[in-house]
C-alpha cells in the first residue's frame, strides 16, 4: 500500500489500553435526568417504570457485548463488569466506553414506549461513562458494595425529600434540613413524621438490580443448552434484587468473577452425575480422582449441595490458580481445607 505523509497521525493517538489480568468495570450515568424526570412527570421519589427501562437497556448492552458477566444498576446508573481475560476492542477503554454509551442510549430510546406507552419521549436521553481497571476479586466486590451503599442512601434521601415536599415544606427548607443528614436521621424523619418504615420499601428500590449472564443454571454451566441470541435470550437473564456485599451472592454465582472456578464447579456436577447416587442430597462417598496428572483430591466428606459455596473460596485463589500444581501451593490449599 502506498505511504502518505500523514500516517504519523496514528502515533499521536493516546494509549488507553487498560492493564491485562484486570477486570474492567464500566459505569454509565444519566445526564440531565432531573430534567428528563420532571418533563415526563415521573413518579417521586422513584418511578418503577424508569428503573425497569434502565434494566431493559442494560440487558441490551449485555446482549451486544458478550464478555459482560454481570450488571448492577439503580436510579440513573448501571455498572458492567467484563471477564478478566476479555480482549474486547483490544481492551481499549475509549472504545468500550463508546460502545456502552451508544448501545445503552439507543436502547433507552427504542424501548421507551414499552414502559411509557402514554408518554412521548420529548428529547433523546444522554449518558456518560467511565471505566475502572480492578486487579483483585476484593476490588470488584468492594466496587459493587460501594454502588449498592450509594443506592441505599440515595433512595433513603429521595424518599425523605419527596415526603417533606408533599407535606408542604418548601424546597429551600427541605434542602437545608436534609443537608448532611445521616442514615439514622433520615430514618427518624420518615418514622416520626410519616410513620414510614424504610425497611419495608421494595427491594428493587433499596437494593438495586443485579443482572447475571444467563449462560448458567443455578451457578453451573449448562453444557447441553445452547443459548440463543437476542429476544429469546432476554427471558434467560437472571435478574435479582439482593445484597451484593455478603458472601452468599458471590458464592452462588462464582462465574461472575472466576470462569475457572465455574469450570471446576461444573466438573463437580459431572462427577456427581457420573456416580450412580440415588440420593441427590449430601453424600459421604469420596469423589473419584480425575485422571489428569495435576488433579487434586476433594475431602472425603463433601456435600454436593455446598458446591456453590466452594466457588467463593475458589474465587479468592483464582489469581494464583496456575500455581496449584506446585507442591507448595497444593500444601497451602490442603491446609485451608479447599482440596
Q: Residues 157-166: pLDDT tens digits?
A: 999 999 999 9
Do residues 240 and 74 touch, judged by C-beta distance below 8 A? no
Residues 134 and 268 in one domain: no
Distance CA 211, CA 58 (A): 8
Residues 74 and 207 in one domain: yes
Has residue 289 been placed in a domain? yes
Has residue 39 been placed in a domain? yes
For residue 124, count other CB atoms closer than 10 A to its CB.
9
Residues 80 and 208 in one domain: yes
Has residue 228 been placed in a domain? no
Give this prediction's pTM. Answer: 0.74
For residue 106, give the CATH number of its domain: 3.30.70.3000
Distance CA 283, CA 203 (A): 36
Do residues 83 and 250 touch, judged by C-beta distance below 8 A? no
Do residues 126 and 34 touch, judged by C-beta distance below 8 A? no
Residues 207 and 74 in one domain: yes
Of 157, 186, 212, the residue that ends a domain is 212
Identify the CA nearest to 288 among candidates 309, 270, 311: 270
- Bridge partners of 72, per DSSP, are 79, 210
Has residue 218 been placed in a domain? no
Has residue 70 been placed in a domain? yes
SS3 324: helix
27: which 3 cell numbers? 459505569
Residues 207 and 299 in one domain: no
Has residue 135 been placed in a domain? yes
Length of the chain: 339
Residues 36 and 123 in one domain: yes
Q: Can you give the pLDDT of all 339 residues of the chain as single tens digits?
A: 556 667 778 778 777 888 888 999 999 999 999 999 999 999 999 999 999 999 999 999 999 998 999 999 999 999 999 999 999 999 999 999 999 999 999 999 999 999 999 999 999 999 999 999 999 999 999 999 999 999 999 999 999 999 999 999 999 999 999 999 999 999 999 999 999 999 999 999 999 999 997 544 444 444 444 545 555 667 789 999 999 998 999 988 888 887 665 555 555 555 555 554 444 444 444 444 444 444 444 444 444 445 455 555 555 555 444 444 455 655 555 555 444
Residues 133 and 269 in one domain: no
Residues 145 and 276 in one domain: no
DSSP string across 81-125: EE-TT--GGGGBHHHHHHHHHHHHHHHHHHTHHHH-TTS---S--
Do residues 80 and 61 touch, judged by C-beta distance below 8 A? yes
Phi, psi of 243 (to 5 degrees): -80, 130
Residues 128 and 264 in one domain: no
Do residues 109 and 121 touch, judged by C-beta distance below 8 A? yes
> C-alpha 329: how far from its chain's center?
31
Greatest C-alpha distance within the chain: 78
* Residue keyed to cell 428529547: 123
Has residue 197 been placed in a domain? no
Residues 262 and 143 in one domain: no
Residues 140 and 55 in one domain: yes
Has residue 176 been placed in a domain? no
Structural domain of 51: 23-149+203-212
Residues 207 and 312 in one domain: no
Provide the domain count of the chain.
2
Amino acid at each position: 500500500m502506498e505511504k502518505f505523509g500523514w500516517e504519523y497521525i496514528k502515533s499521536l493517538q493516546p494509549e488507553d489500553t487498560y492493564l491485562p489480568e484486570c477486570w474492567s468495570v464500566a459505569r454509565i450515568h444519566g445526564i440531565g435526568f432531573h430534567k428528563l424526570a420532571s418533563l415526563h412527570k415521573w413518579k417521586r421519589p422513584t418511578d418503577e417504570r424508569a428503573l425497569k427501562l434502565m434494566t431493559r437497556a442494560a440487558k441490551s448492552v449485555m446482549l451486544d457485548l458478550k464478555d459482560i458477566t454481570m450488571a448492577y444498576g439503580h436510579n440513573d446508573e448501571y455498572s458492567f463488569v467484563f471477564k478478566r481475560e476479555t480482549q474486547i476492542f483490544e481492551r481499549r477503554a475509549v472504545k468500550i466506553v463508546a460502545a456502552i454509551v451508544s448501545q445503552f442510549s439507543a436502547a433507552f430510546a427504542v424501548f421507551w414506549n414499552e414502559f411509557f406507552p402514554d408518554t412521548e419521549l420529548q428529547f433523546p436521553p444522554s449518558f456518560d461513562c467511565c471505566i475502572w481497571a480492578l486487579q483483585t476479586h476484593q476490588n470488584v466486590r468492594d466496587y459493587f458494595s460501594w454502588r449498592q451503599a450509594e443506592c441505599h442512601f440515595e433512595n433513603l434521601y429521595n424518599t425523605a425529600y419527596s415526603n417533606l415536599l408533599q407535606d408542604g415544606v418548601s424546597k429551600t427548607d427541605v434542602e437545608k434540613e436534609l443537608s448532611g443528614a445521616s442514615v439514622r436521621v433520615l430514618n427518624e424523619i420518615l418514622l416520626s413524621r410519616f410513620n414510614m418504615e424504610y425497611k419495608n420499601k421494595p427491594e428493587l428500590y433499596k437494593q438495586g438490580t443485579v443482572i447475571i449472564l444467563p449462560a448458567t443454571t443455578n451457578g453451573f454451566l449448562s453444557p447441553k443448552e445452547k443459548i440463543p441470541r437476542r429476544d429469546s435470550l432476554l427471558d434467560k437473564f437472571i435478574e435479582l434484587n439482593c445484597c451484593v456485599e455478603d458472601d452468599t451472592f458471590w458464592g452462588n454465582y462464582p462465574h461472575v468473577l472466576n470462569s475457572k472456578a465455574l469450570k471446576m464447579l461444573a466438573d463437580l456436577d459431572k462427577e456427581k452425575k457420573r456416580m450412580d447416587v440415588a440420593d441427590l442430597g449430601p453424600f459421604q462417598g469420596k469423589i473419584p480422582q480425575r485422571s489428569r496428572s495435576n488433579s487434586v483430591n476433594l475431602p472425603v466428606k463433601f456435600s454436593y449441595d455446598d458446591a456453590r459455596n466452594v466457588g467463593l473460596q475458589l474465587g479468592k485463589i483464582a489469581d494464583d490458580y496456575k500455581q496449584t500444581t506446585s507442591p507448595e501451593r497444593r500444601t497451602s490449599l490442603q491446609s485451608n481445607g479447599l482440596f
